[in-house]
Amino acid sequence: MLFVIGICLFFAMTDEFHQLFVLGRVAQVKDVLIDSAGAIVGLVIFRIDNRLLLRFQN
C-alpha cells in the first residue's frame, strides 16, 4: 500500500510541476495534498471492500 501511495504522491507532484509551464495554471501544494488524500481514501475503500468480500466468500 505504501508503494501505491508513493506512486500517487509522485504523480501529483509531477503534475503540479507541469502546471508551472501551462498558461493560466499555478502549482499548489494544496492540490498535491488533495490528490494524495484521494489516493489514501481509495485504498482504504479498496481494503474494506476486499475484506468484506473475503468474509462473505468463506
Please work out, in degrees rounded to the nearest 5, the angle formed at the alpha carbon of residue 34 by the alpha carbons of 30 and 51.
Answer: 155
d(CA 42, CA 6): 14
Return the pLDDT at 54: 87
CB 30 within 8 A of CB 19: no
Number of domains present in the structure of the chain:
1
Domain, as residue range, for 6: 2-57
pLDDT score, position 20? 93
pTM of the full predicted structure?
Answer: 0.78
Q: Which residues of the chain have pLDDT under 50?
A: none
